[in-house]
Structure 1
Amino acid sequence: MALKRRNGEAGDEMTGREKKKLKVSNARTIAVQPSAMTSNAVAGPSSSKAKDSLIGLPAALDVEHFIEARAFEIDAMHKAMKTASASSSYRVWQTLPRHLRRRAASHDVRRVPLRLRDRARAEMDPIRKKALGRAMPRGAKNRRIDPTASFLKRQRNKTWLETHLWHAKRMHMENIWGYRLAISPTEKSYRPSHRASVRGSILHDASYYSCVEIRGPEKIIIIMLELCCDPQAAGPGSKRCLTGSRTLETCIYRPGSYPYDLVAPLTIIWKPHTQRTSKERETQTSRQSLPSKNKGKAKAGSDPPSKQLDSMVARSVWLRFHPSAHTEVLDTLREAASQTLANRKASQDNAEEVNLEISDLKGHLNAFEIMGPKASQVIKGALSPVRSEQRGEFQQFWSSLTNLQSAGSIPRGMIIGFKVNDPRLKFPPKNAKATHCPNPIPPTTLIFPSSHLAECEIWDDTVRNGLAKPRFKKKDLDERRAKSEIPGMPLNSTRLDDTIPVLLIQRSVETSKSTDSQALHGWTLIVPAGWSMAFFSSLVFTNTRVAGQLERQTQAYEAGTAYFPRDYPFTQPYQSYALDRERQEKGVWERKPPAKRVNYDKLAIENPWRPVWETVLGIPEIREETTEGEVKFVSTQRETLQSTSSTVRPWLFRGFDVPNIVAKMSSVFNHGAVLLSEINRLRVKRGHSPFPSSFKAADILQGALITVKITMCSRGSPKDLAILHSLSDDVYGKWEKILSIRRSAGVAHGQEIPEETELTDTVPCQTSAIGYVTTGHYSLTRGHGFAIGAIPVVHFLELDQQVTRLHPNQKARLQSAPILVGVRNTDGHQYRGPVIELLES
């Protein structure tokens, strides 16, 4: 056996660690002068061995000779001090764990832990003295820019959130939707963020969401919203949300254009019935005191006077939606308000004049989304309600937050309004800890939504304007804390301290009847403007992770729900998003040399950077020449209803009744007639007129696109913009056989069987493309590839008929036979056979 070291000597060579240790040891060793003392040394030690130590010492000390004799020792000490300080491999801030390192730590000793401040102070550069001992020239002081003015100057073409500085130091930032928003943390946090949303808590600043307030008579507001809201969902005037105890999740369309012209998802929040401002009470009193010409003469079939009076009560409603559709939603609301007032004036000659006030609350409210099973404990620990909150329902709810295992245990969209003390008084907060109860009472039996529980002063604009700026700065609170007799104790609230009204709304990200998805539950906290950083600091200090845009998208993806705007084709925000992504990814591809980039011509990909929905729908694209000579693709989304008889318009078919409507269509031969009748039924439900007889059912069927979820049954993960292909009957049989073998043999998703290898190398035909993947990658919740995509309704019905044809036994088909398609990423030839299902909203 060969020796590891030359000549078998183990000690000839040293390891790198030993060399470094020896180098540091030598640097920290003081050199010693060899003992070569001369006989005529004046200040040297005596060689006498007499008992008296003073014998032999010189009578006088020559300082010059003494320094010359000790020059070597002094020089050696100076060199040792210099080499010892330079031999350290790490500075103090580099020895800290990564979550405590800050760039400012190398400039400010106070940012370093107390035990290391002495070393850090020694490593700091010496303070430079002022030139010639004079202060800064007066001209330089005048030219110095104020930080506030500098920040405002940098927000000319975008808006900063109140938590911008905190995010900018820790997150990647981008300009989107008119804001400067955080995209993702600078540290690796994809898996920790998912783990926090599933097991702990994760926080997202959603203050960029748009909010519009509508004020006016209740009946007029309901009619106005019914003109533009999704008829499949509950109406804006339903008892469920009209009292103000719950929110309503729906979608907004152009007035009277359903199912075309989808604008954006919408959240409706009514002001509680029992809560009215002094201005609204005065308006209602004056209306009741006005003399009526037709007093006591009610028309036949009309509501009694008391009911008519209740329907004309002044109400307020908030509409929250994505900022990418801000302009479109405002235009839609103005158009709906104009149509409502015009129709009322035309139908009632002596109708009382009413006013509808539409206010943009941008910059008036801040919102935080706290998701995860520990979100309730975070809310309970960070907020402290004022002592005047003596409502029994609220006290019952607040006490139940401690042991609430998940926010999904309470009714969906439940609203709780209350007032809290300044969270800075209680800083640092502590999470509420659940207590063990042998027989816990389910929270659903204790907490019920009510308008009395949802009352909050945040609806009053005078209260919000009075709280726009906190009364005390953080410096003032720190001075009060320094004067406290017991250090570290929270400050007691005084009558001079601010009390802030907040709204707490239950939020769930889930799909109905889904077995492979894990729903996420949490809270949406709405606070007045000016208090974002005060609440954000307390929420972050409870060991809650902070999420950016990518983490928020991942939450919707893991829950198996569509995310706006990337999963909503044929909407204006989606068109902008798709064009921006195409420009960025195409630019990256063009900057690479030909040998280092994917050859899409060889792969026969029509457009690898943007889905070509018109191709899979079988309709022509509309091209528009720009001033630069470039070709711009324009969707047919903005065409009028009168032209639909000659042109097929693409539209997204979504809603709660989609599975039932598709089941009805698959059971009959004429699919278009069933779809048209169902659309007309929904239009009549909201007071719209049905489509004219000249409207072709085949046109509305051909332009319909439906959202599906793609579940991989074998290896592979579909990426964004992956292409979905239809399978022939023989290929379908082969994939079904492979799936049955995998189930019977218990093969994991990451393993591949020999029969599958040959089948995945088959190149699909380009004409068999039936759809695209809008969001897809590896799912941490499911442990395999998962995607959300869209395909035309026509192709989905053909796939359903294929399964029925290959499995005549209808009962067996529903139990085991899946709908299989082929999925192929744009950067390769391989394609696999996943299972697709309708994505239920």
Structure 2
Amino acid sequence: MDTDAAKLRRQALLAPPRTLDVRKYAECRAAEIESLHTIVSNRLGNDFRSRRSKRRRTTGFESKNRRFWKHSTSKDKEESKNQNDNEQKKLPRRVRRKIELTKKNPEFGFSVSGDGTKRLRTHVWHAKRFTMEKLWGFYLPSGLHGRGKGSRALLKWHRQGAVVHDASYYSAVQLDGPEDTLSSILSMLLRPSPTDRCEDNCTRLLSGEIYGRAMLHHAKQDSYKAICPVTFMWRPLQQQSIVGTNDRVTEDSIEIKSSSCLRQLWIWMHPSAFDEGLDCLKLACQKMMNDTGVVIGCVSLDGKFATLEVMGLKSFQLLQKLLRPITFSVETGSTTEYTDGDLGKEESFSPGTAVLLTVVDPRFSCHKKAEVLPVAHLSKDPKESMQDKCEQNSTGNLIMKEGVLSTSLSKDESTSSLFMCKDLWDASNGVNPPMEEHILCSKRHQKSLDFFCSKSTASTIFETTEGSYSNLCPIMLLKNADEASLHIGWTIILPICWVKALWIPLISGGAHAIGLREKHWIACDVGLPCFPQDFPDCNANYYMMEKAAAAFDKTMENQSFATRPLRIPIQLPWNSKWFLSNLEGNGDYSGNLDGKLNDVPLSNNCGFSEVSVARTSRMLNSFLKEVSGENLLIYPKGIDRPRFSHVMMNEAKISQGSNLTSLTTDRRLCYLRVVLHAFKEGVFDERAVVCAPRFSDITSLTSRLVNDEGIQVPHAHFGSYFKELPSGKWDFQLPEDPAAREAYRAPIGFVTTGFVRGSKRPAAVAFCEAVLLARFRHEQWSRFPAKKRRKEIFVLVRNLSSTAYRLALATIVLERQEEDVESL
């Protein structure tokens, strides 16, 4: 019986050679080749020339002008060649754009067009698949190609899969200074203030364990106007790894711990309000420096970081497949081990968690826990690669060889490697970019050639490659979840040079890319506001509506008078005095409006800053105290108020909310965000008007028959709800016809985001005046029996393109949660 060694020797002799010599192969097959040549020559009559009709005329004309076939002599060709060598021709725009947008990968910044518009790092990928639009200084994907539909399929992706959005247009501002000074600035500009939170959340915020959301406002002396929603996070005092139990010890963490009063803070803002927010922060830092003498750094991080938003039910499963965090374990002695881990379970992350990680390049799909080559080794010698310690599976992905689980380094090498693998807070000073795609493809091709025992010809490519690359990327992982857990998603903050290395694996892993329109649909489906559409108290919303109105007017000018549609207001009259006039009168006041409304001052003298939106329970409570409305039937969550069930059954409490005579004049308008649901039927569009119902309207619409027409505006007065002022603004008007006045319903608010087709329970986002909501709740609770009272408020909604009033249920958001500062 043969031994194992004899079998191995026999297999080695029978195995094909690693290289083949063509000359030896031809000598052995000389007789066969000669016989084949004889057969072919007999068939062709020993004429091996190609036919004249089959020849290509590629040299019969000049390459400069292919329209004219011109024979050129060899002398002319030499002269033209020398002339081309001397002159440096400018490359075509197509070639220059391809080099700039696809091949170049600088550490910081965006590529800029001729007019100064920025392009995302994924611009080429989006431009082939999305409709691009110039917004906020960027070329952004507005939505998928088509007529703006497809919401049903999108919501299915979100409910059953994962979607991804490149939100790299968001930028951050970094504040450096003492902790107490930075906390004072946040308390002065943010609502809700970090100090207003509970002690546990405040401690976790300061430690950097979680991030916070708030509304950024101007200083109090500047009318305290809202700017935009922001996300703020503190740099952790001690960097910890999520994988394993050992702490990661760095020089930066030791320095921060020794001087804990010096901190760093990031504030992320939307690009439409970034300049305004940056100026506000700089003024606050300057004012604080003048008052206290403490120098506070305020630096813009625009173009240094990228943001990817992954949303959906299976978003965490997708991140588990792609993100492989690295654990840095410092052992006794002079050795350091690097091991590959995973993200763990989703339940271990609480909402609002901010985790700093160092992950492997997602293009290396490591299916086994294995060692990752330190960055210091890759930067010293580009020839060295992971292919020496990797194998290739059937799908072409590189996997680590078994048996190589850790690497022991000397003391100097471990210190250098730890310095190169810095966290995301230090990445603003520079980080090694990922390996270029063509180098990675060349290495995979070389791996395939080695598998087929072929000679390597790609060694020269690696030798001529310049620069240092890394296969480790520092990121920050944020968990996004609202209080109702309807919106589940993750935000990945990473260096901007690593966007392409993570974007393609996310798409290949099963995530569907979405644009701004699809992102707005998801926000409306889960009941979250979307900036700047659902923020009427911010300048960003005002400028966006002003731009849309200018585009609409330009479109109207290009149409004839016969084909022009009905003019409707794009900029809604939020600061109209007609909202105050609804409080006049007694009894059935919501419908019996008299001619005194025509004498109400219009919104010409009403400044835009006078309109405010209460987004926290404290702000709403302070407004109620300001207007002496403590007895109004509005109950912010978190404030010491009786429960709904107790109030709805208590007739004395309801009667206390009827005194509204002191709220008719000399007060500012305060809006609340409400969620509208259709009572029976109807679709609520954007810019629809929320109107006050009569009690007879509620009883008829809740019990009417199917063939009943409901409340209709006469077609002759279809466009008489608004009127355009000489200044170009819009306001309400009361129709003069008695029939139209009978069908008139006074406005109390507007719809900012309409229904999304395909939603299981479609909802619309609207803003209604707070005092009017309390008045209509009081009327409905006082007239309905106790068993039929609802927490929601019955309102009427009329689309600007329709004559019908639809009954809806309005739910005040601040009565379900303490803060309304979430933005998608």
TM-score scaled by structure 2? 0.63
8 Å contact from structure 1 (residues 770, 792) kept in 2: yes
Tell me whether 1:706 sits opposite 2:706 in the alignment.
Answer: no
Give the letter for the 2:447 counterpart.
S
Tell me whether 1:144 sits opposite 2:91 in the alignment.
Answer: yes
8 Å contact from structure 2 (residues 580, 665) kept in 1: no
Match of 2:751 in 1: 773
SS of residue paired to 2:497: coil
The alpha-carbon distance between structure 1 residues 659 and 272, as it changes in their structure 2 partners (threshold 3 A), is same
The alpha-carbon distance between structure 1 residues 672 and 377, as it changes in their structure 2 partners (threshold 3 A), is closer
Residues 29-52 of structure 1: CA distance to partner in whole angstroms, max 9, x if unpaired? xxxxxxxxxxxxxxxxxxxxxxxx
Tell me whether 1:753 sits opposite 2:706 in the alignment.
Answer: yes
Distance 2:235 2:673 in 1: 34
Distance 2:135 2:57 in 1: 43
Among 225, 232, 256, the alignment partner of 1:268 is: 232
Q: After TM superposition, give the deviation of residue 564 of structure 1 in Å.
A: 1.1
Give the letter for the 1:506 counterpart.
K
Tell me whether 1:829 sits opposite 2:803 in the alignment.
Answer: yes
Distance 1:155 1:172 in 2: 20
8 Å contact from structure 1 (residues 773, 789) kept in 2: yes
Distance 1:789 1:567 in 2: 8
Report matched runs for 1:470-549 at 5 Å: 470=434, 472-485=435-448, 497-508=470-481, 510=482, 512=483, 519-549=486-516
8 Å contact from structure 2 (residues 685, 755) kept in 1: yes
Match of 2:423 in 1: 458
Residues 565-612 of structure 1: CA distance to partner in whole angstroms, max 9, x if unpaired? 111112110111111222223333444444444445xxxxxx432211
SS of residue paired to 2:238: coil
Match of 2:588 in 1: none
Distance 2:776 2:550 in 1: 34
Q: After TM superposition, give the deviation of residue 790 of structure 1 in Å.
A: 1.1
Report matched runs for 1:161-180 at 5 Å: 161-180=120-139
Distance 1:129 1:777 in 2: 65
Give the letter for the 1:481 counterpart.
R
Distance 1:608 1:344 in 2: 48
8 Å contact from structure 1 (residues 206, 366) kept in 2: yes
Among 398, 405, 413, the alignment partner of 2:342 is: 398
TM-score scaled by structure 1? 0.61
Q: After TM superposition, give the deviation of residue 459 of structure 1 in Å.
A: 3.8
Among 341, 350, 361, the alignment partner of 1:411 is: 350
8 Å contact from structure 1 (residues 616, 771) kept in 2: no
8 Å contact from structure 1 (residues 172, 186) kept in 2: yes
Give the letter for the 1:147 counterpart.
R
Q: After TM superposition, give the deviation of residue 458 of structure 1 in Å.
A: 3.4
Among 532, 542, 545, the alignment partner of 1:575 is: 542
Distance 1:397 1:239 in 2: 29
Unaligned 5+ residue runs, structure 2? 1-52, 63-70, 102-110, 240-248, 332-337, 367-394, 398-419, 453-467, 582-602, 641-661, 715-739, 815-819
Percent same amino acid at aligned positions?
21
Distance 1:337 1:775 in 2: 36
Residues 278-306 of structure 1: CA distance to partner in whole angstroms, max 9, x if unpaired? 57866987xxxxxxxxxxxxxxxxxxxxx
Q: After TM superposition, give the deviation of residue 822 of structure 1 in Å.
A: 1.3
Match of 1:792 in 2: 769
8 Å contact from structure 2 (residues 132, 142) kept in 1: yes
Match of 2:530 in 1: 563
8 Å contact from structure 2 (residues 237, 256) kept in 1: no
Report matched runs for 1:623-634 at 5 Å: none
The alpha-carbon distance between structure 1 residues 202 and 671, as it changes in their structure 2 partners (threshold 3 A), is same
8 Å contact from structure 1 (residues 208, 323) kept in 2: yes
Among 292, 317, 339, the alignment partner of 2:265 is: 317
Among 564, 571, 574, the alignment partner of 1:610 is: 571
Match of 2:5 in 1: none
8 Å contact from structure 1 (residues 772, 789) kept in 2: yes
The alpha-carbon distance between structure 1 residues 707 and 813, as it changes in their structure 2 partners (threshold 3 A), is same
Match of 2:205 in 1: 241
Match of 2:416 in 1: none
8 Å contact from structure 1 (residues 204, 369) kept in 2: yes
8 Å contact from structure 1 (residues 558, 780) kept in 2: no
Among 785, 807, 830, the alignment partner of 2:784 is: 807
The alpha-carbon distance between structure 1 residues 564 and 269, as it changes in their structure 2 partners (threshold 3 A), is same
Match of 1:87 in 2: none
The alpha-carbon distance between structure 1 residues 425 and 670, as it changes in their structure 2 partners (threshold 3 A), is closer
The alpha-carbon distance between structure 1 residues 364 and 156, as it changes in their structure 2 partners (threshold 3 A), is same
Residues 203-249 of structure 1: CA distance to partner in whole angstroms, max 9, x if unpaired? 00011001111111111111111111113666589113111111111
The alpha-carbon distance between structure 1 residues 619 and 395, as it changes in their structure 2 partners (threshold 3 A), is farther
Residues 523-547 of structure 1: CA distance to partner in whole angstroms, max 9, x if unpaired? 1111112111111111111121001
SS of residue paired to 2:794: coil
Distance 1:397 1:201 in 2: 23
Match of 2:659 in 1: none
Give the letter for the 2:677 counterpart.
T
Q: After TM superposition, give the deviation of residue 269 of structure 1 in Å.
A: 1.0
Residues 173-226 of structure 1: CA distance to partner in whole angstroms, max 9, x if unpaired? 111111111111125643222211111000000110011111111111111111
Match of 1:58 in 2: none
Distance 1:558 1:465 in 2: 39
Distance 1:598 1:806 in 2: 42
Give the letter for the 1:253 counterpart.
H
The alpha-carbon distance between structure 1 residues 342 and 154, as it changes in their structure 2 partners (threshold 3 A), is closer
Distance 1:161 1:559 in 2: 27
Report matched runs for 1:712-727 at 5 Å: 712-727=678-693
Among 173, 176, 189, the alignment partner of 1:212 is: 173
SS of residue paired to 1:183: strand
SS of residue paired to 1:609: coil
Give the letter for the 1:759 counterpart.
I
Distance 1:669 1:420 in 2: 53
Match of 2:607 in 1: 636
Residues 617-665 of structure 1: CA distance to partner in whole angstroms, max 9, x if unpaired? 6589xxxxxxxxxxx9797245xxxxxxxxxx22111125578789999
Distance 2:527 2:563 in 1: 35
Among 189, 205, 215, the alignment partner of 1:228 is: 189
Distance 1:568 1:700 in 2: 24
Q: After TM superposition, give the deviation of residue 818 of structure 1 in Å.
A: 4.3
The alpha-carbon distance between structure 1 residues 707 and 282, as it changes in their structure 2 partners (threshold 3 A), is closer
Count of residues paired in the alignment: 584
Distance 1:542 1:422 in 2: 14
Aligned Cα RMSD in Å? 4.4
SS of residue paired to 2:133: strand
Unaligned 5+ residue runs, structure 1? 1-77, 79-124, 286-308, 346-353, 431-454, 489-494, 601-606, 621-631, 639-648, 680-695, 739-751
Distance 2:215 2:58 in 1: 61
Bigger Cα Rg: 1
8 Å contact from structure 1 (residues 259, 653) kept in 2: no
Give the letter for the 1:477 counterpart.
L
The alpha-carbon distance between structure 1 residues 396 and 234, as it changes in their structure 2 partners (threshold 3 A), is farther
Among 237, 240, 250, the alignment partner of 2:214 is: 250
Tell me whether 1:334 sits opposite 2:273 in the alignment.
Answer: no
SS of residue paired to 2:510: coil
Q: After TM superposition, give the deviation of residue 264 of structure 1 in Å.
A: 0.9
Distance 2:291 2:153 in 1: 55
